[in-house]
A and B are shown apart, each in its own frame.
Chain A
Amino acid sequence: MSLIASKLCLKPDTEYHLNDVCFEMSKGEIYTIIGRTLAGKTTLLKTIAGLIAPESGSLTLDGADFGRIPVWKREVAMVYQQFINYPHLSVYENVAFPLKQRRMPKVEIRNRVMRALSQVGLDGFENRKIQALSGGQQQRVALARSLVKEANIVLLDEPLVNLDYKLREQLREEFRNLFSAKASENSILIYSSTDPVEAMQLGGQILVMDEGRILQQASAKEVYENPNSTKVSQITNDPAMNLFEGTVADGKVILSAEIHFELPQHCQALPQGSYIFGLRAAAISLADGGFPFTVELSEISGSETFLHLKHEHVQMVGLLDSVQNFNIGETVSAQFDTAHLYAFATDGRLKSSPYGGLK
Chain B
Amino acid sequence: MGLLYSTLKYLAVTLWSVFVIAPFLWAISTSFKDFQSVTNGATYIPWVDFEPTLEGWRALWKSPAQGGVAIVEPFFNSVFVTAAGSAISIVLGTLAAYALSRFTFKAGPIRNGDITFFFISQRIMPPVVLAIPFFIMLGKFSLLDTLMGLILVYIVLLMPIAVWIMVDFFNKVPREIDETALIDGCNPYQAFYKVVLPNSIPGIVVAGMFCMIFGWTDFFFSFILTFTEVQLLPVAIVALNSSITPWWSLSAAALVSVAPLVFVAFIVERFLSKGNLSGALK
Contact = CB atoms under 8 A, between A and B. Distances in A.
Q: How large is the interface on A (under 10, 10 to 19, 20 to 34, 35 or more residues)?
A: 20 to 34
A273 B235 CA distance: 93
Contacts of B176: 80, 82, 84
B177 to A, nearest CB: 6
Interface string A68-96: 00111110111010111111100000000
A76 B183 CA distance: 7
Contacts of A51: 179, 182-183
B184 A88 contact: no
Given A84-B176, A88-B199, 17 more contacts: A46-B179, A49-B179, A49-B183, A71-B183, A72-B190, A78-B180, A78-B183, A83-B282, A84-B174, A86-B177, A86-B181, A87-B280, A87-B282, A97-B184, A101-B190, A138-B282, A149-B184
Contact of B185 (A46, A82, A101): A101
Interface of A: 46, 49-51, 70-74, 76-78, 80, 82-88, 97-98, 101-102, 130-131, 138, 145, 149
A84 B184 contact: no
B205 to A, nearest CB: 14
B182 A71 contact: yes
Q: How would you classify the secondary structure of chain B's contact residues: helix, strand, loop or mixed?
A: helix
A84 B177 contact: yes
A70 B174 contact: no
B195 interface: yes
A71 B182 CA distance: 6
Nearest to B276: A88
Interface string B180-207: 1111111100100001001100000000
Contacts of B198: 88
Interface of B: 174, 176-177, 179-187, 190, 195, 198-199, 279-282
Given A82-B176, A86-B177, A131-B279, A77 B186 contact: no
B197 to A, nearest CB: 9
B183 A70 contact: no
A86 B195 contact: yes
Most chain A CB within 10 A, of B182, B190, B279, B280, is at B182
Contacts of A49: 179, 183
A143 to B, nearest CB: 13
Contacts of B281: 87
27 contacts: A49-B179, A51-B183, A70-B187, A71-B183, A72-B182, A72-B185, A72-B186, A72-B187, A72-B190, A74-B183, A76-B183, A77-B183, A78-B179, A78-B180, A82-B174, A82-B176, A85-B180, A86-B181, A86-B195, A87-B199, A97-B184, A101-B185, A101-B190, A131-B279, A131-B280, A138-B282, A145-B184
A131 B282 contact: yes
Nearest to A131: B279
A102 B177 CA distance: 19
B185 A102 contact: yes
Nearest 6 CB-CB pairings of A with B: A101-B185, A98-B184, A88-B198, A84-B176, A71-B182, A87-B280
A118 B237 CA distance: 65
B196 to A, nearest CB: 10
